[in-house]
């Protein structure tokens, strides 16, 4: 009876071990680079990440109470910003309610977030805003605020019906936005992640 040479069996076993070791790596490589539908998402945020984050221009806006909103007013806190007409139509009201409810749901992290409504005109429906959204910071953009409005992509100055909610970080950088079509829980879930990971604000 002929026996297979020992060195041939050893070589075959070696190649088998190599195949067992490298096959999963080769499969993963093929799925990742060969089939985009299989590729995992690079980020877990649900809002639209604005890359790169952009520092807001220097601004100084007046409020209905006679105070001033400046860049320093945004520093040290996470800021939810909505831009729209001061009479606050349907999309405006939906956005302000979502901002309020998302902030309230943060519980102990609630003080780390503030809400800002930048009005583009007709300021303001004070009865609605004061009774329904206590603590909301309202500022009138006016003529001097135009450079600030143009820093927000999709703001009413460029897209009147866009109605985005924006997130500005505690360093004053615009970093994310949410369209009216974004899931309502998206804002809260992203805020929770940001606050958990953040060492500022």
Mean pLDDT, range 46-60, rounded to an integer: 92
pLDDT in tens, 12-41: 776 666 655 555 655 554 544 454 444 444
How does strand 78-84 pair with strand 113-119? parallel
Quick one: 67 and 110 in the same domain?
yes
pLDDT above 70 for 180? yes
Residue numbering of the annotated binding site: 88, 92
- Is the per-residue pLDDT at 8 higher than 70? no
Alpha-carbon distance of 160 to 188, in angstroms, equals: 25
The reply to whether 1 falls in a domain is no
pLDDT mean over 112-126: 93
Looking at the structure, do residues 20 and 113 belong to the same domain, yes or no? no
- For residue 115, being part of any structural domain is answered with yes
Domain of residue 29 covers 6-38
125 and 68 co-located in one domain: yes
Say if residue 63 is in the same domain as residue 122.
yes
Q: Residues 99, 180: one domain?
A: yes
In the 8-state DSSP scheme, what is residue 36? G
Res. 200 pLDDT band, cuts 50 70 90 = confident
| Residues placed in the known binding site for Cu cation | 88, 92
Does 187 map to a domain?
yes
Please report, for the domain that includes residue 98, its CATH number: 3.40.30.10
Residues 28 and 55 in one domain: no
Task: Using the predicted structure, report yes or no on whether residue 60 has a pLDDT greater than 90.
Answer: yes
Tokens of 47: 């809002």
């Amino acid at each position: 009876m002929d026996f297979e040479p020992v060195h041939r069996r050893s070589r075959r076993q070696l190649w088998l071990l190599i195949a067992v070791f490298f096959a999963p790596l080769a499969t993963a490589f093929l799925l990742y680079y060969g089939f985009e539908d299989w590729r995992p998402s690079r980020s877990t945020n649900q809002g639209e990440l604005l890359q790169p984050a952009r520092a807001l221009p220097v601004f100084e806006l007046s409020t209905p109470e006679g105070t001033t909103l400046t860049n320093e007013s945004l520093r040290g806190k996470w800021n939810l910003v909505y831009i729209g007409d001061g009479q606050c139509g349907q999309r405006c009201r939906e956005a302000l309610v979502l901002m309020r409810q998302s902030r309230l749901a943060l519980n102990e992290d609630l003080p780390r977030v503030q809400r800002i409504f930048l009005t583009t005109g007709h300021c303001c429906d004070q009865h609605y805003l004061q009774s329904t959204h206590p603590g909301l910071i309202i500022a009138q953009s006016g003529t001097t605020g135009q450079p600030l409005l143009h820093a927000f992509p999709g703001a009413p100055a460029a897209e009147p019906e866009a109605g985005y909610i924006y997130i500005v970080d505690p360093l004053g950088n615009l970093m994310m936005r949410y369209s009216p079509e974004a899931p309502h829980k998206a804002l809260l879930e992203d805020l929770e992640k940001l606050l958990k990971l953040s060492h500022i604000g």
